[in-house]
Amino acid sequence: MRLNDCVKPYTQVGGVPASIFQVQKRSCIPPDIQRPCQTYLTKERRRGSPVPPQQGSKSGGVGGLPSPPHTASPSRPLRPSRYVPVSAATAFLVGSTTLFFCFTCPWLTEQFSVAVPIYNGVIFLFVLANFCMATFMDPGIFPRADEDEDKEDDFRAPLYKTVEIRGIQVRMKWCSTCRFYRPPRCSHCSVCDNCVEDFDHHCPWVNNCIGRRNYRYFFLFLLSLTVHIMGVFGFGLLYILYHTQQLDRVHSAVTMAVMCVAGLFFIPVAGLTGFHMVLVARGRTTNEQVTGKFRGGVNPFTNGCWKNVSHVLCSSQAPRYLGRKRKLHSVVVQPPFLRPQLTDTQLAAKVLDNGIHGDLHRSKSSLEMMESQSCDAEPAPPPKPELRYPGLSRGHHGQHTEESSLLNKAPPTPTMYKYRPTYSSPGKNHTALTHAYANQMSRGDSLKESSSLLQSSQQPGFRSEPSLDGREAPGERGGLGGGGDRPGGGGDEIQMKLFSRTNGQPRSSLSSSGSTPSSPSHPISMSTRPGQAYPSPGNTQSPAHKPGGGVKKVTGVGGTTYEISV
Amino acid sequence: MAETHSLQDMRQQAAIAAKVFIQRDYTSGTVCHFQTKFPSELENRIDKQQFEETVRTLNNLYAEAEKLGGSSYLEGCLACLTAYTIFLCMETHYEKVLKKIAKFIQEQNDKIYAPRGLLLTDPIERGLRVVEVTIFEDRSLGR
């Protein structure tokens, strides 16, 4: 059983389940001891291998294109067993209703009014329309991510990423098939082999997933089917009550048969309708209800009963992601390129920089490193050579941009490899620490390096120092202060203060790192911090706002405490 | 404005140096909202303000698309009454706004990003999960 199965996916901020002790990586075991039974944890990466085309049958919405340019699932072998429930449902629905119209309605029309068949006809049309939409509409399938979107190595990337939604930590799992971290409420359907947005469930009666785009139709189908069954049963009963003396006639027999079918289906259909009415009112999906995600927790996706209902019924039809006309980029991008003007502070930074530290960006990771201490007991592998641009993949892209002319004076020692800067949490919440943490967690990076960084950070205003790892001075990124605004350079001390002020939670991001757990074996920061974080082992720090002074204490592994002035 | 590229044009296009992916910001739920945080890779390529303005405008457009207003409600009612056949001839509100967004991105690329060696990709092509910013190699001398 996977570790993560023990954990409730939605937790309140501040209440980190103690069972998460270790970040589970996409490929959490070294290749030399990889066992087949654990391969489900490995992120599949097949660079260069062609991605097979998606199943075409469900990829189009209304008026969809015949050949979707985006790929989703490989073409699966035809499985006739999949079509049995939907065929049966269609047969019962259409067959019974046709019999009702042919045998029961004529007499009712004569006896009462023409409104009877019209009413039943309208309801039946509504049922059919919603049934067709639920069956044939793309539920909100995400196209597979391109190769270049995922720059992370198998052994570095965590299996889960945590985001905070309205104060509640929500986990996003890495989908190895689709190659992205599943957005909240998204789930991968094993039947369709696709990730579906706002996944509700896979319905065998319509042979389709129910997701964001077609949930409304599914819900209306259930509602209208309930009404239709009640109508058919009711009018059939009326017919029978008037024909008690002629029950041996064909018409009566057929009516009774239709009534039986209607009565039989009424109980499960009405039950399901009631269930979904409750789900809609509470703003939950079937998947969430059945997996017990909100048991004891709070649903971050609800907006109140009325808004939930109106969102399901009244929102504009969500767009499909597959089968869209891909617009050709008609823009030709050619050098020479414009560059932004350096501000005075940036120029000052470059002047003070003695060339050893070079990259202004790298100080961000330096700050991150000193903030977060890995709890990994394993010895750190040697740090990878620093990339000139954090966002660039290792080595493939070879050439440095000309901006790195300063950076081309390579630092004497390799520096920390940066982890996925673009997956950082938004504005107010710092990202640097998260990155650093993830970096550490996934690589078990050297703490020696961190400690040297910490030392350099203790001198605010000191821009560069000949430290071993060539790290730039503290505060450049204001990683302590938060990932918010990040001017390219600037006085570090000033900058750190700026960040503290501009950061919506000036202390919170620092506090979880500053207010340290007593044991050095625990990481300082993490999932309790608001914003994006990775599940941290046993850290019960609340992200809120520790009233700190101007100095933060950071405890490294080994018990050494460092002070960082902010 | 569709252009067909000749082979020569393609060769003239600068090489791709890197790609930055602006992720979604889920702090307010599943509404489509992208992070306005300025990625460090773009620091020496474009003004922070400009970039954040672009993302903010995008976010506003998506908010408009997902708005639960009178128009979307009427659209739903009409669709119901016509047994959804109206979708064959009419464009939904969301699609209309997506067209606006595509136009906006095209315009931003033409005016702001392409001259700086960057290219924004419409997030709808990625399932509204990321905004892809392609950074092109700058081989020009100096700096």
Chains A–B, number of C-beta pairs less than 8 Å apart = 239
A487 reaches B (C-beta below 8 A): yes
Q: Which residues of chain A have pLDDT under 50?
A: 1-22, 29-69, 357-380, 383, 385-549
Q: Phi-psi bin for A151: left (phi > 0), alpha (psi -120 to 50), beta?
A: alpha
Element spanning A107, H or E: helix A105-111
B46 reaches A (C-beta below 8 A): yes
Q: How far, in Å, CA of A364 to CA of A420, rounded?
A: 13
pLDDT for the residue A416: 43
Contact between chains at A324 and B124 (C-beta distance less than 8 A) = yes
Q: How far, in Å, CA of A481 to CA of A371, rounded?
A: 11
pLDDT for the residue B4: 56
pLDDT for the residue A369: 44
Residue found under tokens 């009112």 = A281
Per the model's pLDDT, the better-predicted residue between B21 and A150 turns out to be B21
Of A183, A335, A399, the CB nearest to B140: A335
pLDDT for the residue A75: 60
Contact between chains at A401 and B129 (C-beta distance less than 8 A) = no
Q: Which residues contact A37 (CB under 8 A, 6 or more apart)?
A: none
**Chain B contacts in chain A segment 228-287 (CB below 8 A):** none
Residue A38, classed as helix, strand or coil, is helix
Count of C-beta atoms within a 10 Å radius of residue A50: 7
A130 Cα to chain B: minimum distance (Å): 8
Residues β-bridged to residue A495: none
Band (pLDDT 50/70/90 cuts) for residue B100 is very high
Contact between chains at A148 and B136 (C-beta distance less than 8 A) = no
B138 reaches A (C-beta below 8 A): yes
Q: Report the chain B residue with the minimal C-alpha distance to residue A127.
A: B83
B139 Cα to chain A: minimum distance (Å): 7
Task: Please tell me whether the overall predicted TM-score, pTM, comes out greater than 0.80 for this model.
Answer: no
Contact between chains at B26 and A183 (C-beta distance less than 8 A) = yes
Q: Report the chain A residue with the minimal C-alpha distance to residue B141.
A: A402
Of B40, B135, B143, the CB nearest to A421: B40
Mean pLDDT of B95-112: 93
Q: Is A209 a catalytic residue?
A: no
Q: How many Å separate Cα A502 from the centre of its chain?
A: 28
Phi then psi for residue A201, to 5 deg, are -170, 170
Q: How far, in Å, CA of A153 to CA of A381, rounded?
A: 15
B53 reaches A (C-beta below 8 A): no
B59 reaches A (C-beta below 8 A): no
B44 reaches A (C-beta below 8 A): yes
Which candidate, A533, A160, A218, A140, places its Cα nearest to that of B32?
A: A140
Chain A residues whose CB is inside 8 A of the B21 CB are 149, 422-423
Which candidate, A329, A294, A22, places its Cα nearest to that of A158?
A: A22
Which of A178, A186, A192, A203 is the catalytic position? A203
When scoring A287, A337, A364 by the number of chain B Cβ atoms within 10 A, the one with the most, hence best to mutate, is: A337
Q: Do A391 and B39 touch, CB atoms closer than 8 A?
A: yes
Q: How far, in Å, CA of A444 to CA of A377, rounded?
A: 8
Tell me, what amino acid is at A214? N
Of B22, B43, B142, the CB nearest to A422: B22
Residues β-bridged to residue A174: A181
B25 reaches A (C-beta below 8 A): yes
Q: How far, in Å, CA of A391 to CA of A400, rounded?
A: 12
Band (pLDDT 50/70/90 cuts) for residue B18 is confident
CB-side exposure of B26: number of CA atoms within 13 Å?
Answer: 30
A140-159: pLDDT as tens digits: 999 999 888 877 656 677 88
pLDDT for the residue A99: 95
pLDDT for the residue A52: 44
Count of C-beta atoms within a 10 Å radius of residue A232: 27
Q: How far, in Å, CA of A141 to CA of A193, rounded?
A: 10
* Tokens (6 digits) for A528: 């309790």
A251 Cα to chain B: minimum distance (Å): 31
B63 reaches A (C-beta below 8 A): no
B94 reaches A (C-beta below 8 A): yes
Chain A residues whose CB is inside 8 A of the B22 CB are 422
Alpha helices in A112-157 (DSSP H): 115-136
Q: Which residues contact A347 (CB under 8 A, 6 or more apart)?
A: none
Instruction: Say which DSSP state A530 is in.
Output: S
- Using CA atoms, how far residue A49 sits from A45, A140, A147, A469, in Å, is 9, 26, 10, 38
pLDDT at B30 over 50: yes
What is chain B's length? 143
Mean pLDDT of B135-139: 83
Element spanning A265, H or E: helix A250-282
Per the model's pLDDT, the better-predicted residue between A331 and B2 turns out to be A331
Residues β-bridged to residue B120: B133
Band (pLDDT 50/70/90 cuts) for residue B44 is confident
Mapping DSSP onto H, E and C, the string for B83-108 reads CCCHHHHCCCHHHHHHHHHHHHHHHH
Q: How far, in Å, CA of A371 to CA of A552, rounded?
A: 10
Contact between chains at A425 and B142 (C-beta distance less than 8 A) = no
